[in-house]
A and B are shown apart, each in its own frame.
Chain A
């Protein structure tokens, strides 16, 4: 049975964010205005929330928390944290798509870790809106997308992931995302060149999706399609 986590609806989350901006509180397991989805499983227990916070806290400490650390350490933290969050949060995909679940996690359960990871300037990292940007929601979904090939996730930068996942026509198809990631990693290491390449190849793929059902392609044919689009994108970039 899936587990339901508390939700903090948008207005309440924004008010809580304003409060966190003045003083970051310690993590908690509940908020008086939290709600739950009406259907879909049992409620998570306070002990389970503490267990997630505890394991993530230990991981963060191994990467320098609570001291400020470099991007590299925090990105390595993300990669390891994705598996931990997914293991502790046995959510249905509908529940994991609920923005309010992630607002609760950032603002109530893990405010100290959220602050350490992204600071307080960007509300999208705290209040769930775009789940490819939220501190914790994006990691849960990254794990789902790359669970069968975790090495791919390790090889991608935050910018790469944003470009691959932000358009739902591509980002909503985990197999397609992995095929694109595989093809791109094998071709381009320079971050700026890679950014241009992903932008061009995802644009070409979206045009192709208007008349090609990529879900009908086996792995070999999908890989071949990606490879040809990358060839063309690289030619375009050189012109």
Chain B
């Protein structure tokens, strides 16, 4: 994303910089930053770098800034698990090209990390030309990239509990813990609990076995959970669509994806009445399969 927002002053053209392409250091080698870091060690800081290529003169001219106006390059992160942010680099832009290295603190990041790179003006400019940025910190160029360090490999965190020690039915196989806080991090609010009494299901989920019965059990679980999420998304429908955008990996963001999937497959409302409920269940079964969850047709 580069300057897609409408700002109350002139901003430079996209030719004023090369959009940052981040790399990650792992096993003593640099490689392109992936969307998901598999097997990330939560005790190891994340070392990243990019090549800064910025044309400061072009920025000043196109933004109607004074010739000597100082420009700041800032790199910060936002963690989806805590919604906390931190700054890892902020200084006057370097001669281009220059390598910018940053270290993301392992203890503070989690979930999906949004890396935000901005070029902004350092000082207030009370004598600014009409349309020129006036305030220190005014963003001229902005880019975001996301990397998942946790949670991208599985649909949910899964835990095994004896349902006899819970308020749940002791004969139930599973319970999905949910939250109605649409702004909350999804992985913090949703948790799949398996009943330890359902030995076959627990074994199928934890062993990763490929025997046909285990596969069927896992597919059935997946379909059940996906159906529930689709129903929740339909239930929240108007609240989900009222927001123009949800934070990545928030409850609202994930449920919106399920809502979109349901609508694109012809399911757009919860049912009322016996016939509608029966039709809904059949349709929901089809929607979940169309979304590639649960047992596929042979």
Residues of A within 8 A of B (CB): 1-2, 9-12, 14-15, 31-33, 35-41, 92-94, 96-100, 129-130, 168, 172-175, 208, 210-218, 221, 224-225
Asked whether A15 and B74 contact (CB < 8 A) given A33-B161, A212-B139, the answer is: no
**Chain B contacts with A in 38-88, Cβ cutoff 8 A:** 42-43, 72, 74, 76, 78-79, 81-85, 87
Do residues A97 and B120 form an inter-chain contact, with CB atoms below 8 A?
A: no
Q: Tell me which of A9, A10, A39 has the highest count of chain B C-beta atoms within 10 A of its own C-beta.
A: A9
Chain B positions within 8 Å of A37 at CB level: 157
Shortest Cβ distance from residue A39 to the other chain B in the assembled complex, whole angstroms: 7
Contacts A35-B161, A99-B188; A11 near B166 (Cβ below 8 A): yes
| Inter-subunit contact A215/B76 (CB<8 Å) | yes
Is B175 a contact partner of A11 (Cβ separation < 8 A)?
yes
A97 near B185: Cβ-Cβ < 8 Å: yes
Binds A, one of B14-22, B26-34, B103-111, B235-243: B103-111
Contacts of A216 in B (CB 8 A): 72, 74, 90, 118, 120, 122, 137
Q: Which of B74, B108, B135 contacts A92 (CB 8 A)?
A: B108
What is the CA–CA distance of A2 and B177 in the complex, to the nearest angstrom?
25
Q: Tell me which residues across on chain A come within 8 A of B248, comparing CB atoms.
A: none
A94 vs B76: C-alpha distance in the bound complex, in angstroms?
17
Partner of A211, one of B8, B84, B85, B167: B8
**Chain A residues, CB < 8 A from B74:** 213, 215-216
Contact indicator B166/A15 (Cβ below 8 Å):
yes
User: Given contacts A98-B188, A211-B138, is CB(A38)–CB(B157) below 8 Å?
Assistant: yes
CB distance B83 to A212 under 8 Å? no
Bitwise interface map of B from 88 to 119 toward A, beta carbon under 8 Å scored 1, else 0: 00100000000000000011111100001010
The chain A residue with its CB closest to the CB of B162 is A32
B110 touches A97 (CB 8 A): yes
Known: A92-B110, A99-B188, A215-B76. A12 touches B85 (CB 8 A): no
Contact A94/B166 with A9-B177, A216-B90 known, Cβ cut-off 8 Å: no
Q: A94-B82, A173-B85, A215-B90 are in contact. Are A41 and B188 (CB under 8 A)?
A: no
Q: Is B244 an interface residue (CB 8 A)?
A: no
Q: B137 touching A221 by the CB < 8 A rule?
A: yes
Interface assignment of B191: CB less than 8 Å from any CB of chain A:
yes
Decide if A129 touches B79 in the complex (CB within 8 Å): no
Knowing that A33-B161, A99-B184, A215-B85 touch, tell me 9 more A-B residue pairs with CB under 8 angstroms: A2-B42, A12-B166, A14-B167, A93-B79, A99-B188, A168-B83, A175-B87, A218-B90, A221-B137
Which residue of the partner chain, among B108, B124, B162, B168, contacts A11 with CB atoms under 8 Å? B168
Assembly CA distance A10 to B191 (angstroms):
9
Judging by beta carbons under 8 Å apart, are B179 and A10 in contact? yes
B137: chain A residues at CB < 8 Å are: 212-214, 216-217, 221, 225
Give A132 Cβ to nearest chain B Cβ, in Å: 11
0/1 interface trace, chain B 165-191, chain A, CB 8 Å (1 if under): 111100000010111010111001101
Q: What's the minimum C-beta distance from A29 to chain B, rounded to whole angstroms?
A: 16
* Chain A residues with CB under 8 A of B7: 211
Which residue, B76, B84, B166, B188, has most C-beta atoms of chain A within 10 A?
B84
Instruction: Among B76, B108, B136, B189, find the residue whose CB has the most chain A CB atoms closer than 10 A.
Output: B136
B150 within 8 A of A: yes
Q: Nearest Cβ distance between residue B86 and chain A, in whole angstroms?
A: 8
